[in-house]
Amino acid sequence: MDIDLIKLRLKKMLGDERLEHSINTSKVARRLAIKYNYSADKAEVAGLLHDCAKDLDYKSLEKMVLKYSIELDGIIQKIPKLLHPLVGAVIAKKEFNIHDPVILKAIKAHSTGASQMSLLDKIIYLSDKIEPLRNMNGVEEVRKMAEKDLDGAVLMALDKGLIYLISKGSLIHPISIEARNNILNKVVFV
């Protein structure tokens, strides 16, 4: 699907702020893709669509889970926030006609990370966290690192996300720990 058409359809699905966040994410993703030798067009599409299910209410998310037999593990069942990446990947496929498994996986992995993160997974995970509207603690540090070391920046963003979840007493999906361990192995123990 053509980028302008994707934006037009997204506009009907997302609130203004979420749309701005998605467009910002796609711009950062495009820039990082060029920097780290990946397809800028694929990164732009994944960035635009990563939160396409985020403004659905819980009932609609549940309906999609049932309709498309999306498998949920025990942790995801307890963290409703983690439904939108999985449902988002299905919407990207069914409603936006995106069939590239690499793009669909990057959408799925944008909240938790993934055990083995592809280059696009990393670009989208990071773009979502550092786009200009984001203001989490230490975001400037991650933005700077993203300019020189993609793995280092993803590790930093994962760490900050985990520290935040612990500070809130929240559940942590084990995939995020696996993602961190695998990137840490690459960054520190090479």
Q: Which residues bind Fe ion (CB under 5 A)?
A: 51, 128
Q: How far is the CB of 37 from Fe ion (least distance, A)?
A: 24
Q: Tell me if 85 sits within 8 A of 108, measured CB to CB.
A: yes
Q: How far is the CB of 54 from Fe ion (least distance, A)?
A: 5
Q: How far is the CB of 53 from Fe ion (least distance, A)?
A: 8
Burial of 86 (0-12, 13-18, 19+ CB in 10 A): buried
Q: How far is the CB of 9 from Fe ion (least distance, A)?
A: 17
Side-chain half-sphere of 7: how many Cα atoms within 13 Å? 11
Nearer to Fe ion, 112 or 145 (CB): 112
Q: Tell me if 158 sits within 8 A of 176, measured CB to CB.
A: yes
Nearer to Fe ion, 20 or 178 (CB): 20
Nearer to Fe ion, 44 or 51 (CB): 51
Q: Tell me if 78 sits within 8 A of 34, measured CB to CB.
A: no
Nearer to Fe ion, 44 or 128 (CB): 128
